[in-house]
Structure 1
């Protein structure tokens, strides 16, 4: 009987993890890795998400971004519903292999379910003394209307 092949290398030593040439990701206690996703063209941060083992493997194998939805508790192929697919131009892992950076090209030009191009569409002022802190919008308009794309589906963001 053949032994089951593990998709990732075991984490054996600090040197192997930090200086080795094999992917040995360190998932957190919930089995997740944080992922920062940026626009491959201009470097803008589009979103921050998480991947579980399956999402990481599917992203590697398909070249399209897959995430784990913490609010819906399911695998999520970015753009499967909206058509705003993130095609991976480059994928990197940090030094201790516990965070991923994706550089992507996005079909349709947007990555945020709210309709903006980026999920980071508001700025937080520094040095503000007024409470509550007032945010300022960094994007002037939405790329798409979420109600047209998603209908009346509940917002996946849990308050």
Structure 2
């Protein structure tokens, strides 16, 4: 359970609770909008700081027909991306994209963030299917970019542990 810092004024607790609830609800709405299966949010403090990041594993995307090759979809996604690379995850070529998302109150985005997404074709799926893993790290004007870069490197390290497992 997350705790308020020592000396936090009791009069500010209701306002802080409402703000936290609003931010959590917004994160869950965004995860649902992205067809999220699992949402991971750090809630414990690390060295006195709650890490402003999350990642989502999304439902498989399905090709509309069985004639689409997984590699063709990855090429199309790469074409539409500013910063992308191919990464191998458990023997499967996947696409990694990076995007800086500006704050946009009209889109319910209060704070700028960095987004990293891995799109992974599911081997031997017919029709073709892909999983997506999306990482978001919120940024603030006074936040050093090195901190965000470290969080992205940590997510990349987590993705290197990805393994396919099939139920018998």
Q: TM-score range by the shorter chain?
A: under 0.3
TM-score, normalised relative to structure 1: 0.26
Larger helix share, 1 or 2: 2
TM-score, normalised relative to structure 2: 0.25
